[in-house]
Structure 1
Amino acid sequence: MPLLDVRNLTIELDTAQGRVKVLEKVSLTINPGEIHGLVGESGSGRSLLAKAILGVLGPNWHIVADRMMWDGKNLLEMSAKERRNLMGCDMAMIFQDPSGSLDPVKTIGSQLIEAMMPNKSVPFWRRGRDTYLNAQKWLHKVGIKKPKQLMKCYPWELSEGECQKVMIAMAVANHPRLLIADEPTNSMELNTQAQIFRLLSQLNQLQNVSILLVSHELEIMVNWCDNLTILYSGQVMESGPASAMAELPYHPYTRALLKNLPDHTQKMRHKTDLPTLQGSSPSMQHLPAGCRLGPRCPEAQRKCVKQPNLEQNKGRYFACHFPYQSEQEDDDAIA
């Protein structure tokens, strides 16, 4: 049974220009112990989807879904108290804006200890000291060189990268079953990024923690994730195993993202332009009819003014009227 099963999730926001549909019929399935990547440009709705799963909703949000199941339980039918208990124990999220997610009038140590669950196997008169030492341990694991001194600091005294490490320590300290990481290595140097990825990999392999990794760095996602979901302007373009999508992308948008990756095995002329899609992502107030990639898609035809259905082929899902896999199958049949 999947740990998380979301079917046809739609999110609408009330704005000054009226109600805007920012996510449209998005489906996502995460199995226990799986690392699932959520890829897309800025404004594609990745963070909104992550917050909807966690239950961090705004007052102007309107959510409709066929189902949102967590370990066999319906998230849409849970009370606010049940969602908070789930959020603090089984689900955790590393937010994209770490400095804005921390309380500026409380020390790092007090916030970290408050977020951690005390170990009930330890006698009650030792739990305070045990939690304090455990907080220092997690700060050291995420790359803080002097955790004891940092616990006395306030968030406004830290850099953006240090705040990000504190948020990661808060998220992983309670050993959640699902960790949602929204750009977890943003504003970090390369050696610290590698350390964070090693920590997440250890949590996944040793403690069977499922991870939903939100990022726009497709090269890292392909090498690190088991499955990928590609979002564009609030719609799912393609979903499936990461290795299969990298080898043979079905959707034109997925192929464009893969072509945009630099190829270090071949020589390139100085200042050579990388192959990219023409144009830019549409605004949510002026979305095109049908497939939202249509105005930029190199394979677009008249039929694309109708929204394509999400089709399945050998464990792969794609929403396109003219997928590349049909051409590949024709070539294989001729051969």
Structure 2
Amino acid sequence: MSALLEVTGFGLEFRTRSGTVRALEGIDLQIRKGEIVGLVGESGSGKSVLSYALLGISDRAARVTGGSALFAGMDLLGLDEAALADLRGREISMIFQSPRTALNPIRTIGRQIEDVLRRHAVARGADLGRSLRERAVQALREVAIADPERRHGAYPFELSGGMCQRVLIALALACRPSLLIADEPTTGLDVTTQAAVMDLITTLAHERQMATLFITHDLALAADHCDRIVVMHAGHAVEAAPSRALFEAPRHPYTARLLSSTPDERTRSAQGLQPVPGNLPDLRRTDLPGCRFAERCERAVARCRAERPALEPGAEHAVACWHPLDEPAPQPAAPEAAHA
């Protein structure tokens, strides 16, 4: 099956007063209909930056430096603002991190859903107002909000955090998009509500055959709900594999480090956790190594600093590493002989 979303060699930078931030470089990503792909990595690795770029809502300081992003055969990077605005909410929707800030505090949740439906002319008929209300109530019902007729008239401050997140999901899915981007959709929620929200997203994605990009720093959560996972580090995609394969046999040293710093997915025990050493490099540097993990990696050699490795095209389990973990560790270079 061909990919609904296909990102190839995508690069993005931000021009700031303190220098140019090379935020993304050579990103490859594919998502098929009905597939849930997890995008994982530390904060600052470029996950949200990529999603904003795909939707055309990046900061004004952002500039695409190369590559392509095809959605259903359309070049997202070549569309004007009007065409992108027509796609957003109708064909591509996004769930943002914080429902409290994403929702309009002075407008009822039912009216906010109706605004989306009206913008994309989903509900038509002689009695447009009644049709919009029915569709909005149905959208709330589909995300398991109790008493949706009454909740239609509620304001965000009258709802719990978990309920607001369900409203955001209803907003995102009201027009039945082909692609859903969920950016840290469980941030700030307790474990029970987090599980319920993720189960809801997963169920709806499979029922509607909706391609889903799930952005998270939580590898255990990604393992439970994603078909494939792409690992990002400092603006590079360093590993891409089916979820089970990635957890059972990570190939990139960074992925292995992330796993060693992740609580057990069943017990959430913190016992024996090992933090990833060092920090993400400053992406304004002009002397960034070819592999941006090289300065944190115990397997790094001179080539890692000089040349950027890329994901193997078409590989089921792809890794961007000159010395992946399924190969022997590189031997340190022999010291030069002393001159007499």
CA deviations 1:90-143 (Å, max 9, x no partner) are 1000011322223333332221210125555x6422x42232233233334435
When normalised by structure 1's length, the TM-score is 0.87
1:57 has 2:58 as partner? yes
1:299 has 2:291 as partner? no
1:146 CA displacement:
4.9
Q: 1:44 to 1:265 in 2, by over 3 A?
A: closer
The farther-off stretch of 279-288 and 42-51 is 279-288
Mark the runs of 5 or more structure 1 residues left unpaired by the alignment.
Answer: 329-335
Distance 1:22 1:169 in 2: 31
The correspondence of residues 58-73 of structure 1 with structure 2, limited to 5 A, is 58-73=59-74
**Which residue in the other structure is 1:111 paired with?**
112
1:316 CA displacement:
2.2
Distance 1:309 1:118 in 2: 46
Distance 1:119 1:100 in 2: 26
**Which residue in the other structure is 1:164 paired with?**
165
Q: 1:81 to 1:320 in 2, by over 3 A?
A: same
**Which residue in the other structure is 1:197 paired with?**
198
Distance 1:34 1:75 in 2: 20
**Which residue in the other structure is 1:219 paired with?**
220
The correspondence of residues 304-315 of structure 1 with structure 2, limited to 5 A, is 304-312=304-312, 314-315=315-316
Code of the aligned partner of 2:235: G
Q: 1:325 to 1:233 in 2, by over 3 A?
A: same
**Which residue in the other structure is 1:331 paired with?**
none
**Which residue in the other structure is 1:43 paired with?**
44
Q: 1:133 to 1:292 in 2, by over 3 A?
A: same
Distance 1:201 1:223 in 2: 10
Give the SS at the match of 1:175: coil
- CA RMSD, 1 decimal: 2.6
The correspondence of residues 1-335 of structure 1 with structure 2, limited to 5 A, is 1-116=2-117, 117=120, 119-120=122-123, 123-125=125-127, 127-156=128-157, 158-263=159-264, 272-286=271-285, 288-312=288-312, 314-327=315-328
Distance 1:69 1:44 in 2: 22
The farther-off stretch of 171-180 and 156-165 is 156-165
> What is the number of residues matched between the two proteins?
323
Give the SS at the match of 1:320: coil
Maintained 8 Å contact 1:142/1:195: no
State percent identity of aligned pairs. 34
Code of the aligned partner of 1:259: S
Distance 2:45 2:21 in 1: 13
Q: 1:265 to 1:145 in 2, by over 3 A?
A: closer
Give the SS at the match of 1:291: coil
Maintained 8 Å contact 2:26/2:67: no
Give the SS at the match of 1:325: coil
Mark the runs of 5 or more structure 2 residues left unpaired by the alignment.
Answer: 330-340
1:234 CA displacement:
0.8
The farther-off stretch of 73-82 and 192-201 is 192-201
Maintained 8 Å contact 1:161/1:187: no
Give the SS at the match of 2:22: strand
Maintained 8 Å contact 1:143/1:192: no
Code of the aligned partner of 1:292: R
Maintained 8 Å contact 1:141/1:199: no
